[in-house]
Amino acid sequence: MRLKNKTVIITGASSGIGRAIAVRFMAEGANIVAVDISADVVEGGRPVIEVLETIGSDAMFLQADIARSDDVERVFKEAQARFGRLDVLVNNAAIHAPSPLAETEEADWDRVMDVNLKGAFLCSREAVRFMLQQDIIDEARGRIVNISSQHGMISAPGDFAYGVSKAGLVYMTKQIAADYAAQNILCNAVAPGKILTGKGGRAVLPETLEYSRSRTPMPRLGTPEDVAKAALFLACNDSTYITGHNLLVDGGWMAA
């Protein structure tokens, strides 16, 4: 119960990695505010709020577009009204526009940046404003965990806008960490490698999976639960003297 009575806002919580984080954190005793633009589950299955309510009663689902400041403000106000305190923000929501630079449309670029970067900016800004007013508990006024990507450090083949957005999120992590460490607000990131979330499309084409397996030293590819475990470490009091770090969860891909 490493997050007992801690309140956590998770964006992109309906599916994949965000869903796994919400479920794991709930099992660790957290109050969960699950945020997504839709309650639909990309990989199929029950809505995340139904799954969370089988674990405990302190969960809520809020539909919101995190690229809109009014939606973000509403999320934080409703979370405050329900739980009073915010201990952790997990910036997980992200989208792709799978094309190289020359084929990336301006509208696709704008939407990727709106969700992946602007959304993280708006949520982090609101979270920091919230956390600065709180007392210090377990050596922190609050924690931010960003879900970045190994493609924030190396190229994302055929996914130009996504890679650039994740590189920006890695920088944002360091800047927030440096700016607010003195106020006991910690900011770190988890950088997943190839994670099998259950969604279809180009990411699970045979040639794509074969390439990922050939690049990953460990004998399997990642799961959303692998990322959730790393996010838990950064969200709880196990990580008391870590801020500005981008934790790779990639089976050794970046070490090879």
pLDDT at res. 133: 97
Half-sphere exposure (CA, 13 Å, Cβ side) for 135?
3
Query: pTM of the full predicted structure?
Result: 0.97
pLDDT at res. 61: 98
pLDDT at res. 136: 97
Phi then psi for residue 152, to 5 deg, are -85, -5
Could you tell me the pLDDT band of residue 204, with boundaries at 50, 70 and 90?
A: confident
Average pLDDT, the chain: 97
Residue ranges of the domains in the chain?
7-255
Q: Give the Cα separation of 245 and 165 in Å (integer).
A: 17
CA distances from 210 to 13, 64, 155, 192, 236 (A): 28, 36, 18, 18, 35
pLDDT at res. 229: 98
Residue 202 has pLDDT above 90, yes or no: no
Tokens 């929501």 sit at which residue? 93
Region 44-69: what's the mean pLDDT?
97
The percent of residues in the chain predicted with pLDDT above 70, rounded, is: 100
- Which CATH architecture group holds 7-255? 3-Layer(aba) Sandwich (3.40)
**123-179: pLDDT as tens digits:** 999 999 999 999 999 999 999 999 999 999 999 989 999 999 999 999 999 999 999
Region 203-230: what's the mean pLDDT?
94
Region 186-208: what's the mean pLDDT?
91
Residue 127: how many CB atoms within 10 A of its CB? 25
DSSP tag of 96 = -
Instruction: State the pairing for strand pair 31-36/7-11.
Output: parallel
**93-111: pLDDT as tens digits:** 999 999 999 999 999 999 9
Which residues are marked as active site? Answer: 162
CA-based nearest residue to 91, from 127, 47, 55: 127
Residue 199 has pLDDT above 90, yes or no: no
Q: Is the dihedral of CA 234, 66, 184, 193 positive or negative?
A: positive
Residue 8 has pLDDT above 90, yes or no: yes
pLDDT at res. 203: 81
